[in-house]
Structure 1
């Protein structure tokens, strides 16, 4: 690290290459797997089934008995108050209630079976080693708590949580339902409530009151308002009041089972197909304090990132070889655009097998030479690792795969109920999945990553398909391994019959362009009749509405309550490991309990493996599926989005919901993953993502190239914004330090910084970076201006234009039109801020060796403050670090 130097203070008062040529990789001419392997019964989701019984109408609820006061609250027994309803499972007759005041700002309410046998405890309670299970904070008493619980037994047990005189959660007038495969709790809500969080979803940041949020990890791209990769059953609510400060609180339900949250006009209904009620209430009273209490007190604080990961990252599914990778590096250098890290998607693998390199296109010796050159330039390399392990044909010695053999010998893979390995299907063919509840599996995973690092010295690991995704229903590989390596049960780019053209969203489609595409498609189809005949569609399957609960039986694959799972037919067995698959822990825990935790567990295992690969260096992992607490050890990207203006728009709300969830290191596939972008969309998106913590351009193999240097206009826009981002790296890094140690946020909703303005409650087309910068991107095509809200003007907040350093002339509560021609993203500095800046270099390494300066933006009273955190940028344990607070005050 170079010397620290502060030089200036600015005071503000009041060429295409081979890499860009779309290619058609050569896959199998005819798929070996028929689409029927992914056929499952078609179900009707409960929320769409008018004949489904309403548990609130038919279930009796519970009565509290044996109430006993404790040091930190009270306990009670809950006895079924009438005849069992057994509506979507078997009623549990006797429950335990534990109420704990865990801190002055956190209240816990737990409801679980009274007679909980160790053999099935994981069916109801997530083990503490998986995700945070908070206890009572030291020194907490029953006095001075900001939250209070009251309860009644009339007509059945019901409770309310209050903060002072304000009721924030209430089950009054409803019954608690607790069955072995169905739980339900209903809270009343104030009119037009403002609720945020419940990640992961694609949609507006402020959740609507006619919305069902489904949680079941799914490899399903970016569907609007449907279940997708992650599960974070926590929401933040803000209530605005005339003439006084707004008040916010949080609610977290520690349960990993498939579940749904029904947000309706006057209530929220929480339903899950298993587990227990393990609820935590946070008093806030501001949005940022709720988030800090959630991270610091429950799920854990987010990981501290290495300095270099804040640079710019480039990836592509479709880089054909190391030579093309070098051309991409050279393309950025020749264009004068910063490039920090180059990534590989699955192209580098030998037949899509983890921890291997294809000898033809990505041989190890050439890779080592490439990475040596990359590292000498201060740049980095991150490859993808899929979550499945290829299972070779046991009758073909040439198909042997050492990673599988080592894992099979140690029995570290998820199993069928009969203890045989569970064989699903993914990119390489029939595959198995590591069982991270097996204590041996961590060593297996660590050793594989260490061994591969000796060949390919990577700098971090990208975990994909961790939902865990399978392209077939059930253990379809059982008795079928002789067909490996098997082509997935759908067409891929380059396959005969695959029409892989797509137009940019704003492309002018004419008869000429359509005719050219149709001729090309017809020629492709005519040569591959046999291929299309075997893969045209999924065959129809049987249809039924719901199963009937059976006493003493847990129906794992088709539970009685049907969630609104995104996939066609809605069954839990679609595109996932089946719920009846089992783990080799002490309790033979099933995927029914663990499905939403697989991504969390594999990211955690990868983090701890990298601690062995890089002793005393902060691991860098990026995972797709996650759970509450995953931010402790992984970053997240938004998954398979689209080259659409709508995807760019929703990327802001995605980032903000992950700020609530405690994963600040978030970004999306800039310019879009699927489909073709164009110069206008890519220019706007490259500038927007420059203010996201994780900044990566990535797209699919069948799309046109979209590296930032492909279009001159995108290159110009990127150079401009990259200089700004790299100058702000000290500020970014300081924000991550504050997130890691204090539970602060990095990207922030405007409403969090100005929590008393109800007009900001739904704003998700602007955002704050820390407390100092307001970013207002252009999010629609063919626009040269953008509407901007400047919050706080009524309270005399001053705003400065980043580019001119002039005070903004605007009125309070009024949308101000700002010039924003292509290549320009409006940025504003809040008065009262001091920003640490550094002269940008071509990488984070060279930037850190450049001079510092500070930008002082005085508030209306002539004062400003800021901070700067310094360390070596990568070590887990720092030998030297410094936290500097800077103030400027009027005379």
Structure 2
């Protein structure tokens, strides 16, 4: 919904100044607030209380501003490898068997899928930590089957805990009462609201006791259904009532002298009372922190349960959220406009230190049209977090639900994503260690080019991969802006020399335009149906040369799931350089994982003349050269953990 408050609070801005300089500003405050943008240009924050901590980040360039901001709020966690695969979900898989059928259907068409999700359908009467034993009796078997195919399972959890079950019949509520984990009303009794299961109490995640209770519930359910990750929703916290079943007291906290323009016009509108009591403060001060604290409890519990990196996706977010969870952009619609605005949403969360982000591919609400779903899958293949999800009582919109032509186009887009996994994984490493963005606006790389400032229809992965998706109906072309320099068509190596201009690109239904910026080396892999298979495949290095023949790139590699591999030195890090017709690889840090990976081939875009010889580690090698200045060397069989050289003359 536009012009209303949604799911998160991030009182931060990034401003571009003259000459490509930038600065940032952060107001660390968790109270309800308005943000007013004035044409002056000026920005006014009106907050209704709390602590006022001001931070100014001097940059000087936009990327540095974000690094400084993330240093304050906390670096994003390194995701578990399968988080970067294709996720499929919907609200309205009525049974575990119908969920399973979709998984098998994707396998049948050999469409990549790493993760299957379930919405609230799996629960008994929508109650957390329960299983509908009639419709979802085979869910444990489905999860076992997913694991046997190197796939994963993620389920939804809402914070509202049913409060009306017969005494002794629902452990989460009974135990929660015993341990005192629920938010209390002004009189000190558990506050009761209403969510999907009916009347509910809300866990107070500001209390460590609640974190332990949350873990115990997850552990008990995990013994029944060994899920791999969590989707935490409705955690603003959301309420179908205003305040509680008993209303809220009439005082200046519930009705402050100034109320920001929240949907419903009251602080308690569709959430709990502002006067509700939590361990650390009243809800008036804590409301915006609810999702962050639930994410922290969930990530901690998953780490204890699995011994691996946790996977959590949250709807509600606050600064620092990236340390514990990713985010999806909430309930969008199956319309072209929402396809387009998802780019700005994705880029924004990369600026906010939550790089694991994406929108519901093909849209959540309304019916997805085939052409739009193809274009959305192509764009969605370049969301850092890629999930197709739709609403109950709508037609299926997974790739197998469409015509062979559309299905093939979607499959190609997903295979393309899987082939770029080494690039994406390395970008997440730099986000985790240095506070870089994964998907970034063009202005981050070209801050002196003012034409890049307003671009919200294209974006970059890292510094060198330019994505130009089709965002309109019924066209087979797309207009894209190319900043000054040399750009290479990712698929063919054809070269575009731009003075800083807009170009029209061919874009038939089965193509998303991708261009490589000069001076880069990208490590790619032969894709497969899951990332656990893909990530063991040989590497193919793609180099896009500058006019002086130079290029560079890097690769971060580890086992993909152990916690803190960088911090404990259990990783490999390799840099690639091309200069004066010689490519070198330099292993700066090695580990056992990398010794299993080989470099099978290398392609160089922009080799101006056909070489007479190509040498690999000083031995003659076979090569091919195409007239569009593309040199390819194959059958290399080089071990990634050993330095190598490829040269030509």
Compute the TM-score of the two structures, normalised by the length of structure 1.
Answer: 0.63
Deviation of 1:477 after TM superposition, in Å, equals 6.5
Match of 2:240 among 465, 468, 471: 471
Match of 1:311 among 66, 85, 91: 85
Partners of 1:598 and 1:424 in 2: CA distance: 15
Match of 2:133 among 350, 359, 362: 359
Deviation of 1:836 after TM superposition, in Å, equals 0.5
Deviation of 1:832 after TM superposition, in Å, equals 0.4
Match of 1:846 among 504, 520, 533: 533
Deviation of 1:700 after TM superposition, in Å, equals 0.3
In 1, are the aligned partners of 2:129 and 2:217 still within 8 Å (CA)? Answer: yes
Partners of 1:780 and 1:702 in 2: CA distance: 26
In 2, are the aligned partners of 1:753 and 1:771 still within 8 Å (CA)? Answer: yes
**1:299 pairs with 2:73:** yes
Query: What's the CA shift string for 1:725-770, capped at 9, x where partnerless?
Result: 1110001000000100011110000111111001111100000011
In 2, are the aligned partners of 1:431 and 1:477 still within 8 Å (CA)? Answer: no
**1:458 pairs with 2:458:** no
Q: After the TM superposition, which residues 639-658 of structure 1 pair with which residues of structure 2 at under 5 Å, given as runs? A: 639-658=330-349
Deviation of 1:639 after TM superposition, in Å, equals 0.7
Higher Rg of the two aligned structures: 1
Deviation of 1:226 after TM superposition, in Å, equals 2.7
Deviation of 1:654 after TM superposition, in Å, equals 0.2
Deviation of 1:880 after TM superposition, in Å, equals 2.9
Query: What's the CA shift string for 1:13-57, capped at 9, x where partnerless?
Result: xxxxxxxxxxxxxxxxxxxxxxxxxxxxxxxxxxxxxxxxxxxxx
Deviation of 1:557 after TM superposition, in Å, equals 1.2
**1:890 pairs with 2:580:** yes
Deviation of 1:802 after TM superposition, in Å, equals 1.3
SS of corresponding position for 2:238: coil
SS of corresponding position for 1:734: helix
**1:340 pairs with 2:114:** yes
Partners of 1:763 and 1:803 in 2: CA distance: 23
Query: What's the CA shift string for 1:181-228, capped at 9, x where partnerless?
Result: xxxxxxxxxxxxxxxxxxxxxxxxxxxxxxxxxxxxxxxxxx224311
Q: After the TM superposition, which residues 782-797 of structure 1 pair with which residues of structure 2 at under 5 Å, given as runs? A: 782-791=474-483, 793=484, 797=485
Q: After the TM superposition, which residues 527-538 of structure 1 pair with which residues of structure 2 at under 5 Å, given as runs? A: none
Partners of 2:51 and 2:142 in 1: CA distance: 52
**1:682 pairs with 2:341:** no
SS of corresponding position for 1:736: helix
Partners of 2:321 and 2:207 in 1: CA distance: 19
Partner of 1:700: 391
**1:371 pairs with 2:132:** no
Partner of 1:745: 437
Partner of 1:433: 202
Partner of 1:150: none
In 1, are the aligned partners of 2:399 and 2:411 still within 8 Å (CA)? Answer: no
Deviation of 1:474 after TM superposition, in Å, equals 2.2
Partner of 1:268: 43
Partner of 2:214: 445
Partners of 1:436 and 1:880 in 2: CA distance: 33
Deviation of 1:554 after TM superposition, in Å, equals 6.6
Partners of 1:758 and 1:225 in 2: CA distance: 28
Partners of 1:421 and 1:562 in 2: CA distance: 26
Partners of 1:862 and 1:240 in 2: CA distance: 32
Q: After the TM superposition, which residues 509-658 of structure 1 pair with which residues of structure 2 at under 5 Å, given as runs? A: 555-567=252-264, 570-585=265-280, 589-615=281-307, 617-658=308-349
Partners of 1:665 and 1:641 in 2: CA distance: 18
SS of corresponding position for 1:260: strand
**1:829 pairs with 2:516:** yes
Partner of 1:798: 486
Partner of 1:229: 7
Partners of 2:378 and 2:315 in 1: CA distance: 24
Partners of 1:870 and 1:813 in 2: CA distance: 35
Partners of 2:175 and 2:50 in 1: CA distance: 34
Partner of 1:729: 421
Partners of 2:188 and 2:400 in 1: CA distance: 53
In 2, are the aligned partners of 1:425 and 1:477 still within 8 Å (CA)? Answer: no
Partner of 2:28: 254
Partners of 1:823 and 1:578 in 2: CA distance: 51
Partners of 2:100 and 2:198 in 1: CA distance: 30
In 2, are the aligned partners of 1:622 and 1:636 still within 8 Å (CA)? Answer: yes
Partners of 2:353 and 2:207 in 1: CA distance: 27
Partner of 2:542: 855
**1:672 pairs with 2:363:** yes
Kindly report structure 1 stretches of 4+ aligned residues shifted beyond 2 Å: 811-814, 877-880
**1:880 pairs with 2:546:** no
Deviation of 1:814 after TM superposition, in Å, equals 2.6
Partners of 2:55 and 2:374 in 1: CA distance: 43
SS of corresponding position for 1:230: coil
Cα distance change, pair 674–477 in 1 and its aligned pair in 2 (3 A): farther
Partners of 2:49 and 2:570 in 1: CA distance: 48
Query: What's the CA shift string for 1:81-105, capped at 9, x where partnerless?
Result: xxxxxxxxxxxxxxxxxxxxxxxxx
Q: Which of structures 1 and 2 has the larger relative contact order (alpha carbons within 8 angstroms, sep 6+)? A: 1
Partners of 1:694 and 1:803 in 2: CA distance: 23
In 2, are the aligned partners of 1:392 and 1:400 still within 8 Å (CA)? Answer: no
Partner of 2:350: 659
In 1, are the aligned partners of 2:243 and 2:270 still within 8 Å (CA)? Answer: no
Partner of 1:116: none
Partner of 2:60: 285
Deviation of 1:367 after TM superposition, in Å, equals 2.0
In 2, are the aligned partners of 1:392 and 1:401 still within 8 Å (CA)? Answer: no
SS of corresponding position for 1:618: coil
SS of corresponding position for 2:387: strand
Any gaps of 5 or more consecutive residues in structure 2? Answer: 582-649
Partners of 2:443 and 2:243 in 1: CA distance: 46
Partners of 2:88 and 2:470 in 1: CA distance: 23
Partners of 1:714 and 1:405 in 2: CA distance: 50
Deviation of 1:240 after TM superposition, in Å, equals 2.6
Partners of 1:622 and 1:474 in 2: CA distance: 26
Compute the TM-score of the two structures, normalised by the length of structure 2.
Answer: 0.87
Deviation of 1:636 after TM superposition, in Å, equals 0.3
Query: What's the CA shift string for 1:646-666, capped at 9, x where partnerless?
Result: 111010000111011100000
SS of corresponding position for 2:515: strand
SS of corresponding position for 2:199: strand
Q: After the TM superposition, which residues 114-193 of structure 1 pair with which residues of structure 2 at under 5 Å, given as runs? A: none
Partners of 2:45 and 2:140 in 1: CA distance: 52
Partner of 1:416: 185
Deviation of 1:672 after TM superposition, in Å, equals 0.2
Partner of 1:808: 496
Deviation of 1:853 after TM superposition, in Å, equals 1.4
Partners of 1:783 and 1:685 in 2: CA distance: 14
Query: What's the CA shift string for 1:322-362, capped at 9, x where partnerless?
Result: 21111111111122210110000000000000011001111
Any gaps of 5 or more consecutive residues in structure 1? Answer: 1-222, 479-546, 548-552
In 2, are the aligned partners of 1:640 and 1:673 still within 8 Å (CA)? Answer: yes
In 2, are the aligned partners of 1:437 and 1:584 still within 8 Å (CA)? Answer: yes
Partners of 1:303 and 1:877 in 2: CA distance: 9
SS of corresponding position for 2:239: coil
In 2, are the aligned partners of 1:257 and 1:593 still within 8 Å (CA)? Answer: yes
SS of corresponding position for 2:18: strand
Partner of 2:98: 324
In 2, are the aligned partners of 1:637 and 1:669 still within 8 Å (CA)? Answer: yes
> In terms of mean alpha carbon deviation, does 673-682 or 262-271 score higher?
262-271
Cα distance change, pair 477–351 in 1 and its aligned pair in 2 (3 A): farther
Deviation of 1:460 after TM superposition, in Å, equals 0.5
Deviation of 1:861 after TM superposition, in Å, equals 1.6
